[in-house]
Homo-oligomer: A and B are copies of this chain.
Amino acid sequence: MSPYVPGEQPQGGGWVKLNTNENPYPPSLRALEAVRVALVNDGAALRLYPSPDSAPLREAAGRFHGFDAAHVVAGNGSDDILNLLIRAYAGPGRPIGMLNPSYSLYPVLAAAQHAEVVKVEVTDALGVDVDAVAKCGAAVFFLTNPNAPLGVAFGTEVVRSLAKAFPGLLVVDEAYAAFADADCVALVSEFPNVVVTRTLSKAHALAGLRVGYALCPPLVAEVLHRVRDSYNVDRLAQVAAAAALDDREWLDVTVAQVRATRDRLAAALRKLGWQVNPAAGNFVLAAPVSTKRAASVETAAHCFEFLRARKILVRRFPNHRLTEKSLRISVGTEQETDVFLQAVAAWMEG
């Protein structure tokens, strides 16, 4: 069994870190204030177990999406939620399905449950073959939407078709949906077999606190509550996440800024002749080219190393035909993006 390999987390400063899709901006000050309040009286509250079912956090997530808290299950990052879904719904004889490429954690979690993995290829037009998903035989299918690492979003109508056609549980992994034009949250009310997973790690800039949640039919929520750890989200993470969800203004401003920078980055790379995927998340997948080098695995590796030598970290996905010639560049601050684009200009001249 191979472990999931997360992106590099360099120690020490000086890196322009565009490799793990973190938000370039600090989180909501309301989240910070909530943590500070939870630490009053010399942190006396830390001695007590947190709310076992993350009740106030689930209420906040419910308010955010217009759901009752009974539809929400909170986890130690959305990875915890994905894990719970696989533990509850997959196993020997109950395969998981996933798009290929998508999040490489799913097969790792499936292996731990001795569940087979059925991969449905993303089409060359970067779309979903609804028929192939419908017939794939999986007990639970993970649709990463927007897709990572490709960056494209699949429209709500496509996902609705999938929900109708796929006989198992359809999990729409919306880690990046806050940066897209639309999401599939409404489908959770429409279909008994649709779950949407969300994370506070990207749009809410709380990757350090590990909070995610599922929006799901109450029956699915009951099942997930049975398999999760009793106290799976800690006290400070609960209060920070709840406060962050309640700070809509911060989210709107920050997401608008990240989207603007993303679109500027994508346009700049297109202008240089790079092959750039439509980008719906907080990252851009793009295949480097220069006057001397065509798009290829070697060109991507060369550019990656050139950037790395300048302490700019991006990420490569050399294991799939749709990603092997590309770099995935997380959207940084305006300044980080300028530093990146200057380094790219130097590479193209080199």
Residues on A facing B (Cβ under 8 Å): 1-4, 6, 9, 17, 20, 22-27, 29, 31-32, 35-36, 39, 41-52, 76-77, 79-80, 83, 87, 91-92, 105, 112, 114, 201, 205-210, 225-227, 229-237, 240
B234 in contact with A237 (CB, 8 Å): yes
Distance between A106 CB and nearest chain B CB, rounded to angstroms? 13
Distance between A19 CB and nearest chain B CB, rounded to angstroms? 10
Contact of A236 among B41, B44, B208 (CB under 8 A): B208
Contact of A1 among B22, B45, B105, B226 (CB under 8 A): B226
Q: Which residue in chain B gives the minimum CB-CB distance to A211?
A: B234
Q: Which 10 residue pairs across A and B have the least CB separation, nearest first?
A: A208-B235, A47-B205, A46-B208, A26-B44, A32-B43, A210-B234, A6-B230, A3-B226, A49-B207, A79-B229
Q: Which residue in chain B gives the minimum CB-CB distance to A50?
A: B208
A43 in contact with B22 (CB, 8 Å): no
Q: In the complex this chain forms, how many copies of it are found? A: 2
Given contacts A35-B39, A76-B232, contact A209 B46 (CB under 8 A): yes
B3 in contact with A49 (CB, 8 Å): no
Q: Which residue in chain B gives the minimum CB-CB distance to A44?
A: B26
Distance between A317 CB and nearest chain B CB, rounded to angstroms? 16
Contact of A209 among B2, B23, B79, B236 (CB under 8 A): B236
Question: What would 12 A/B residue contacts be, using CB atoms closer than 8 Å?
Answer: A9-B49, A9-B51, A23-B47, A26-B42, A32-B39, A45-B208, A46-B240, A50-B208, A76-B232, A92-B92, A209-B235, A234-B234
Residues of B within 8 A of A52 (CB): 6, 9
Distance between A86 CB and nearest chain B CB, rounded to angstroms? 11
A112 in contact with B83 (CB, 8 Å): no
Given A46-B205, A76-B232, A234-B234: 17 more A-B contacts, CB < 8 Å:
A1-B226, A2-B226, A3-B225, A6-B52, A23-B47, A26-B42, A26-B43, A26-B46, A27-B43, A32-B42, A35-B43, A45-B208, A46-B207, A46-B209, A77-B229, A87-B112, A209-B234
Residues of B within 8 A of A49 (CB): 6, 9, 20, 22, 201, 207-208
Residues of B within 8 A of A231 (CB): 6, 77, 79, 207, 210
Q: How far apart sit A279 and B44, CA to CA, in the bound complex (Å)? A: 25
Contact of A35 among B3, B207, B236 (CB under 8 A): B236
Residues of B within 8 A of A87 (CB): 112
Residues of B within 8 A of A36 (CB): 39
